[in-house]
Chains A and B, each alone.
Chain A
Amino acid sequence: MQITGELGGLDVLINNASDLGPVPLQMLSDTECEDLVRAFETNLIGPFRLTKALMGALAASAREGRGAAVINISSDAAVNPYPGWGAYGSSKAALHHLTRIWGEEHASDNVHFLSLDPSDMDTPMHAAAIPDADPATLKRPEDAARELLDGIAESLAALTTASKF
């Protein structure tokens, strides 16, 4: 409400907040139920609640020809069964599928759903998961964000042009 109140509307929602599950990473059979629930709350239920609450504003933006998109930040762990990434990977897989179903259901409202994998970034979360990774091999978050924004701007421009003609 504070967001739509201040902005007067909304055309892009990016669900970025994530929870890794147990740290250090654990095999699923060693994962506490509470850690799994927390990962699903953050990675799946949170984006669900926010998207649902903001769907009216997003659909209005689409009707007025400004386009509307929901971008859910995903991971290759959503697709590949990496051992030790059970809580994170399964919740991201659920988010990925939620994004696809939502996309199908709102395609005719012109609200577009994208699941994007920014790839491995040099973040505190990555360090928590793989403490001995070499930061030099990881993408800088600001570069990932820039790529993401360029991608959104491009696809929204394509969408709004398409809907006008």
Chain B
Amino acid sequence: MIAATQPIQRPANARLFIVDRNGKFDHTLRTSFVKYLHAGDLVVANDAATMPASLQGIHLATGDSIEVRLTARASIHAEDINCFSAVVFGAGDFHTRTEDRLPPPNLEAGDLIILGPLRATIEKLLGHRRLVLLRFEGSLDYVWAGLAHHGRPIQYSHVASPLALWDVWTRIAGPPVAFEPPSAGFALDWNALSQMRDRGINFETITHAAGISSTGDAELDRLLPLEEPYRIPEVTADAIQRTRISGGRIVAVGTTVVRALEHSATQDGRVRAGEGVATQRIGPSSRLRVVDAILSGTHEPGTSHYELLRAFLDEATLERASKELDQGNYLTHEFGDSVLIERSASIMSHDSRGSRSPLAFEMWQ
């Protein structure tokens, strides 16, 4: 596949590749995705807005320039804004591919970091020399003002022009708790939501603090996705239950929604309302208890997003689908084309919740 290089959320010619439950393929324009939904289906999206999580600054002990990318927080409570896990890069910016970025200076617990108007202390290293737990000084008000003025959305070397905050906010963006955009939601706009309502398709949201998608460091990337806090409103849990009883499908917009809903699911597929922290990895051994279909970006083999699709499709169908996407020159990454994948009818036999993320240490203790 080809990387999408223009930061346009809804290009008129964005495409949608469809895999139905029998492994049959279809190609269409993404604007017509509502036609592939049925009355009685429930679409669940992530309404997290994206924070300006990239901060340029100075590592005080060495005087070296660094870039800090915030990657996760302990909870999505509004007041929980002082403590983040973060990946630290050496001098430079997004014009250099993350794979080629300079490493940061040697980081130690207690080191002070100056990020524009913000000051933060490294509380500890988190199992890797570039992954740290950071604590910001100052009140809620002060930290938000600092992030708003000094922070930038995490940028991508394959997108030439710098992204502004509005480039990475979905139309439905609410609480700013995501570190990278829940980009599957770029496919939605208010017009699509209105079409859905007209056709008897229901819509609800969850809030999931989507973490960083890749760091360019193979060792670190193997730890992804990190633990991600989420909140499922009662109305959403109720709507899921009603849909399941009436035989409609649960269509998740994006991998974050799959992760949150499946994490909160009980043995019998009921979704618990409230807050949680998604710790699991979803892959071929995961049995999906809640989600019937996923609307997502196109994902390349080797990424955790691609692994998650293996819970929806058997190996052979997924390989066939990847080839079809390649041959069709589909665009990938945040501003790329989309796929709508229905869980294959033949993949119901496993019974496991997936393996736990390797980084399930007590980060927030």
Residues of A within 8 A of B (CB): 1-2, 4-10, 53, 55-57, 59-60, 63-65, 105-106, 108-109
Contacts and interface: CB of A to CB of B under 8 A. Distances in A.
The listed residue with most B CB atoms (<10 A of its CB), out of A1, A55, A60, A108, is A1
Interface string B257-294: 00000000000000000000000000000000000000
Given A1-B176, A108-B194, 18 more contacts: A1-B52, A1-B165, A2-B148, A4-B49, A6-B141, A7-B78, A8-B78, A53-B169, A53-B173, A55-B190, A56-B47, A56-B49, A57-B47, A57-B175, A60-B174, A63-B204, A64-B233, A65-B235
B172 interface: yes
Contacts of A55: 171-172, 190
Contact of A1 (B49, B190, B235): B49
A104 to B, nearest CB: 11
Classify the secondary structure of A's interface with B.
Answer: helix
A109 to B, nearest CB: 8
Interface string B217-261: 000000000000000011100000000000000000000000000
A64 B144 contact: no
Contacts of A4: 49, 174-176
Contact of B81 (A5, A59, A65, A106): A5
Interface in B132-160: 140-141, 144-145, 147-148
B interface, how many residues as a size bin? Answer: 20 to 34
B323 interface: no
Interface in B187-212: 190, 193-194, 197, 204-205
B235 A63 contact: yes
What are the 4 A-B residue pairs with the smallest beta carbon separation, nearest first? A8-B78, A57-B174, A56-B172, A2-B144
